[in-house]
Structure 1
Amino acid sequence: MTRSEQILNAALEQFADKSYEGASLSAIASKVGIKKASIYNHFSHKEELFLSVAKYVYNQYIIEIERVLSHRSNRHAEELILEVIETMTNFLSDKKAGKFYMHFLLFPPIPLKEKVYDHFLNFEDECDRLLSPIFEDIIETFHIDTMSLRDLLDAFYCLLDGITTQMFYYDEKTRNRKRLAAWNLFWSGIKNYAKK
């Protein structure tokens, strides 16, 4: 792990636990084993560090999706999408990354709102690029002509965000039950469109 990555990991923990305003650059430096001034060799100020953490979390999310999709050949779309849901909700239920994502990326500090939103739009474009081929296959397989690719992706993201929120409230058994129930209903809805 590079020094910049060490700083990003320590900053992720600080921002997740203490908020943007409460995060301490001194505590971040201490966690990494460097002096506070050394942070500025990698990040010019706290705002840049926060935005870099946001980008880092988004990149880790994308890496997880790519890992699942790298095993795409000879797998049914249903199985693949369910694995994406399980992987991503597990990733976002991680204490640090999930807390940061759900709080600061959905409700960023006011001064950084526009910049975080721009990062989010780029992130969603990348998710679209990775997931579109699977949903295009579904549209073709089920001969769905009443729902667009954009409709399917939008519904999928809402499902994913809803499940992720549930991950923070319940024990593992209950979380898994709720996730599976939401998935079953979502997939039934897709198959229902094929009958129309």
Structure 2
Amino acid sequence: MTRKSAIEDVALDLFASEGFEAASLGKIAEAVGIRKPSIYAHFRSKEDLFLHVFKQALRSKKRMMLRHLLENRDRPFEETFLSLAKRLMDDNESDAQTRFLLRMSYFPPSSLHDQVMELMNPFFMQAERLLTSLLERPLHQTRLQTGNAQEAALAYITVLEGVLAEAIYTTRDKATRRLEAVFPIYCRGVLINK
């Protein structure tokens, strides 16, 4: 592992667990086993390090979501969507990158709010397009009540955001309870009754 990647890994863990303000460059350097000025050989500032790690986390999460949707594209989409929500809740508990991404998406550092939103908004637009394209497949399109794949995708993202916010603010059990309550209602709203 290179020194730069070690700095990124430690920064990710500290940003995820302590937040941007509490994760000082001094703490990061100490955990890596280097002196604080050594960080500046790789990153211009704490903000630069944060944005670099944030972009990496977004790319990784985008790849994970794409892989999940591609691997499950021939299953009923409600099963795929439910398993994706559960996967993200699992990852929030077990994966620092997901915890970091979710925490900083909801609570970005005030000094970096605009930059974080400039990265998140295209991410959500890409997620909406990806989900819409899945729902537009004939296998799924014929099962939608309105036939409007984009509306069904956007509604799912809204459900997912609520569940993930619950996971961040409270506990996995409460988030699971919310998912179990809202997901059948989502399905009744978008699926044709047969």
What's the TM-score, normalizing by structure 2? Answer: 0.81
Establish whether residue 170 from structure 1 lines up as the match of residue 171 from structure 2: yes
Establish whether residue 4 from structure 1 lines up as the match of residue 4 from structure 2: yes
Equivalent position amino acid for 2:163 in 1: I
Counterparts in 2 of 1:153 and 1:49: CA distance versus 1, 3 Å = same
Equivalent position amino acid for 2:21 in 1: E
Counterparts in 2 of 1:41 and 1:170: CA distance versus 1, 3 Å = same
Q: Secondary structure of the residue that 1:41 maps to in structure 2?
A: coil
Establish whether residue 132 from structure 1 lines up as the match of residue 136 from structure 2: no
**2:16 corresponds to:** 16
Q: Does the 8 A contact of 1:167 with 1:175 survive in 2?
A: yes
How far 1:133 moved relative to its partner? 1.9
Q: Does the 8 A contact of 2:141 with 2:149 survive in 1?
A: no
Establish whether residue 152 from structure 1 lines up as the match of residue 157 from structure 2: no
Distance 2:95 2:74 in 1: 34
Equivalent position amino acid for 1:109 in 2: P
- Which stretch shifts more, 30-39 or 45-54? 30-39
Q: Secondary structure of the residue that 2:12 maps to in structure 1?
A: helix
**1:183 corresponds to:** 183
Distance 1:73 1:95 in 2: 25
How far 1:144 moved relative to its partner? 3.7
Q: Does the 8 A contact of 2:8 with 2:53 survive in 1?
A: yes
Distance 1:176 1:106 in 2: 19
Root-mean-square deviation (CA, aligned residues, Å) is 2.6
Counterparts in 2 of 1:188 and 1:121: CA distance versus 1, 3 Å = same
**1:84 corresponds to:** 84
How far 1:99 moved relative to its partner? 4.3
Equivalent position amino acid for 1:5 in 2: S
**1:110 corresponds to:** 110
Q: Secondary structure of the residue that 1:43 maps to in structure 2?
A: coil
Distance 1:73 1:148 in 2: 18
Structure 2 unaligned regions, length at least 5:
none
Equivalent position amino acid for 1:140 in 2: Q
Q: Report runs of 4+ in structure 1 exceeding 4 Å deviation.
A: none
The size of the alignment, in residue pairs, is 191
